[in-house]
Amino acid sequence: MAKSKHETLLKTPTGISGLDEITNGGFPKGRPVLICGSAGCGKTLFAAQFLIKGITDYNEPGVFMSFEESSKDLVENFKSLGFDFKKLQAQNKLRIDHVRIERSEIEETGEYDLEALFIRLNYAIDSIGAKRVVLDTIETLFSGMGNMALLRSEIRRLFSYLKEKGVTAIITGERGESSLTRQGLEEYVSDCVILLDFRVIEQIATRRLRIVKYRGSTHGTNEYPFLIDEHGISVLPVTSLKLDYKSPTEIISTGLAALDRAFSAQGIYRASSTLITGSAGTSKTILAAHYALSSCKRKERTLYFSFEESPDQLVRNMATIGINFKKAIQSKLLHIHASRPSLQGLEMHLMVLNRLLTELKPRTVIIDPISSLITIGNSSEVGAMLVRLMDTLKMNQINALFTSLTNDGSSSNDNPTVDLVSSLADTWIKLTNEERNNERVRSLLIVKSRGMGHSNNQQDFTITAKGIHFSTPNKK
């Protein structure tokens, strides 16, 4: 996987989506990698996925040496993730060796070594020609044994054995109080160390991954969020996507003829992103609903993320202004996904979105409102997620529309999401509801529209039983 003269270290793809991007190609080939983290952070799964994907995707047989779970438990636990250990074992691509140590049955009667473990491991590797090895969790060996110095030197020997053998190995270790692992395994594994973290911030659980050390290779240094779902672990390398998506020239309608006319191209570009900002009660959702309905009229699948209203309420409310969502839902063109932003962590939202994107393959996605997401993370996290989200939508050639709530009265955007999204969005429409001559007047202003001219007039509108109606004629 060496890409250039400078990157001479050979890499082994990890099989964990997103991780190869961060590590510039994967783990160091033929070297041990230490994965550490506290209990329940996903170490075993991480290791198992590395092994299974190695077999299924890269044809590299693997050995799983388990010091904790029995081979039966492992088979059961990973069945739900679609990892068929039994089949792979039958195909001689996988060996599971459960190293069971019954402390109560063991008596130390003199000097000993771990030669038996070496022999077992060597036998397992040679019997299937393994290229990948997992040792989960080797520190179990230490508990209850008297001769720590001996075990340490044996572990050191084990790591140099693995290197000599040329297998890419994952060694898992439980996080210690003052060190990365309880037994200081990081001293022996000097090539690549990855830290997994599971923490709860403001009642929301998030998983994070960080590459602590990667000798001889460049790597991302951030903390990357990762997800565990039915497909295993995926890491979100939030900043590594490139700006190389295609840009169609086809024009689509915003759902309002009068608004379309305000753009010189008589509409907006397909697969472009539109941002609608405005304070509370400025009809952002209604505009979004028009947009959704026009997509359904084009017989294009539409996915509507509602973070404030339930699907039922949204359907009822839109019906009163003549926007019939019911029909669109029945014809399976419209899918409304409602959830409270605080219900899940940020990554979970992104994951649900990604999953729905693959399942439904929508041509149009609406997120109403995107500003709700800011309540569930700090602004840099939300920012990174939004960039990722927009790129995903762009790459899939999806028409995107986001609404965002802004505070009243402030001329500058004190809301960081608006700042960020407005610079990323291709079209930005600002809605206001201001008092003029003892009357509240709704109006719309196109702030920007990339790649086309647009009206610079503020256009007043009213909400009628047939939706938005523009009261002043549009001029170009």
Residue numbers at the binding site for other proteins (CB under 8 A): 97, 99-102, 105-117, 119-120, 122-124, 141
Structure token pair of residue 81: 């993730």
Neighbours of 89 (CB within 10 A): 16
Minimal distance in Å, beta carbon 32 to other proteins?
A: 19
Do residues 233 and 49 touch, judged by C-beta distance below 8 A? yes
- What beta strand segments (E) does 153-191 contain? 168-174
Q: Which of 7, 21, 223, 308 is catalytic?
A: 308
Closer to other proteins at the Cβ: 145 or 356?
Answer: 145
Closer to other proteins at the Cβ: 51 or 236?
Answer: 51
Neighbours of 466 (CB within 10 A): 9
Closer to other proteins at the Cβ: 125 or 429?
Answer: 125
Do residues 363 and 302 touch, judged by C-beta distance below 8 A? yes
Neighbours of 414 (CB within 10 A): 10
Minimal distance in Å, beta carbon 71 to other proteins?
A: 11
Minimal distance in Å, beta carbon 182 to other proteins?
A: 19
* Cα–Cα dist 435/95, whole Å: 74
Closer to other proteins at the Cβ: 172 or 399?
Answer: 172
Q: CB neighbours of 28 closer than 8 A, spacing ≥ 6?
A: 9, 10, 11, 12, 168, 191, 192, 214, 215, 216, 217
Q: Which residue type occupies 468?
A: I
Minimal distance in Å, beta carbon 386 to other proteins?
A: 51
Helices 148-165 and 115-128 cross at an angle (nearest 10°) of 20
Structure token pair of residue 40: 């329940």
Closer to other proteins at the Cβ: 99 or 395?
Answer: 99
Closer to other proteins at the Cβ: 126 or 229?
Answer: 126
Closer to other proteins at the Cβ: 7 or 97?
Answer: 97
Closer to other proteins at the Cβ: 76 or 115?
Answer: 115
The DSSP bridge pattern shows strands 94-98 and 32-37 to be unpaired
Minimal distance in Å, beta carbon 45 to other proteins?
A: 24
Do residues 278 and 432 touch, judged by C-beta distance below 8 A? yes
Residue with the two structure tokens 């990890």: 14
Minimal distance in Å, beta carbon 19 to other proteins?
A: 31
Q: Which of 68, 187, 223, 300 is catalytic?
A: 68
Minimal distance in Å, beta carbon 35 to other proteins?
A: 22
* Cα–Cα dist 366/473, whole Å: 27
Minimal distance in Å, beta carbon 224 to other proteins?
A: 36
DSSP designation for 68:
S
Extract long-range pairs of 441-447: CB within 8 Å, 24+ residues apart.
442/282, 442/283, 444/259, 444/287, 444/470, 446/262, 446/263, 447/422
DSSP H helices in 298-433: 311-319, 325-330, 346-360, 379-395, 416-424
Closer to other proteins at the Cβ: 101 or 463?
Answer: 101
**Whether residue 68 lies in the annotated active site:** yes
Q: CB neighbours of 62 closer than 8 A, spacing ≥ 6?
A: 51, 52, 54, 55, 93, 94, 95, 130, 131, 132, 133, 134
Q: How far is CA 451 from CA 127, 251, 426, 444, in A?
A: 62, 11, 8, 20
Do residues 308 and 368 touch, judged by C-beta distance below 8 A? yes
**Whether residue 164 lies in the annotated active site:** no
In 3D space, the residue among 66, 267, 33, 63 whose CA is nearest the CA of residue 170 turns out to be: 33
Minimal distance in Å, beta carbon 384 to other proteins?
A: 45
Catalytic positions: 68, 308
